[in-house]
Amino acid sequence: MNIDILCYLLRKVRYIGSEGATFFELGFHKEQAYYHNGSFMFGYHKVGTSNTMFTCHLDTVENSRVGTSKDIYLDPATNHIFANKQVLGADDGAGVALLCHMIENKVPGHYFFFAGEECGGVGSNYLADNFETLFPSLKLDRAIAFDRKGTRDVIVSQFGGTCCSDEFALALCYALGTDYQFANGSFTDTANLVDVIPECTNVSVGYYNEHSKNEYLDLAYLKKLATRVCKIDWEALPTVRKCEPEFIFEEQYLTSEEAFWYQLTEPYLL
Ligand SMILES: [Zn+2]
């Protein structure tokens, strides 16, 4: 894996609003950048033919906006990278570096580098709302975010809803290695995509204590993951989950009063 790219990302202070600049500094072109009202929403890169999306986010939660760079350190005893009393930004610099590694190794896929994940998924929300307009011929079976803490998690539910089937998650756990387990996540960009892509998940990239000055990255794990993701046959993973929102009637077609009556299953005293 290209450690220079990882170190560049971790050294740079990358708060929301700086995503476009980071995307271009990684070597991507302006034709690959998508904007809304003048703001960078996401960067997109395609490799080969596939029905798989890989995602990461370019923004970080920073506890200091002073300066544009920070010192990072490697503890040789633990193989952990950390920043001195500052947010490291491995959430999600690790994911960005991993996607760059996969592109370099020509793993077929549709690569999305999102903006504003830490503010509710600004870029992924824009993509979900405009998916058919922006990518009319793109049919995706699965979306894998690399934006999860720890070293063992495959996310099966996030933002209060199921995001992938057990069959998909089990096959992915097996493909990644025997130590992986199902987990419930809070939120990442793929949570915004569950209505347009059947199987959505988030996989551990090795950071801990994110959003705090105690954040660190397990570099040994990230290197191992980088080797593994280049060998997986992503297209062979099963697609079982359907995209339809579970409560489409209540949410989209019924008024709240109508939804109240619709939900009644027992005789109701009037
Ligand atoms: Zn994140």
Chain segment 29-84, per-residue pLDDT in tens: 999 999 999 999 999 999 999 999 999 999 998 766 666 788 999 999 999 999 98
Distance 255 CA to ligand 1 centre (A): 35
Q: What is the pLDDT of residue 62?
A: 77
Asked whether residue 42 is domain-assigned, the answer is yes
Mean pLDDT over the full length of the chain: 91
Q: What is the pLDDT of residue 67?
A: 67
Distance 218 CA to ligand 1 centre (A): 15
Q: What is the pLDDT of residue 266?
A: 67
Distance 124 CA to ligand 1 centre (A): 13
Beta strand extents in the chain (DSSP E only): 33-36, 39-47, 52-57, 72-75, 80-83, 109-114, 142-149, 153-158, 161-162, 181-185, 199-208, 216-218
Distance 24 CA to ligand 1 centre (A): 20
Asked whether residue 158 is domain-assigned, the answer is yes
Distance 22 CA to ligand 1 centre (A): 16
Asked whether residue 205 is domain-assigned, the answer is yes
Cα 265 to Cα 185: distance, rounded to the nearest angstrom: 32
Distance 211 CA to ligand 1 centre (A): 9
Confidence of residue 254 (pLDDT cuts 50, 70, 90): low
In which domain, by residue range, is 188 found?
3-263
Distance 74 CA to ligand 1 centre (A): 21
List, for residues 119-138, the tens digit of each pLDDT value: 999 999 999 999 999 999 99
Give the CATH number of the domain where residue 140 resides: 3.40.630.10
Asked whether residue 270 is domain-assigned, the answer is no
Distance 258 CA to ligand 1 centre (A): 38
Asked whether residue 268 is domain-assigned, the answer is no
Q: Would you say residue 269 has pLDDT above 70?
A: no
Distance 165 CA to ligand 1 centre (A): 22
Instruction: Give how many domains the chain has, as a whole number.
Output: 1
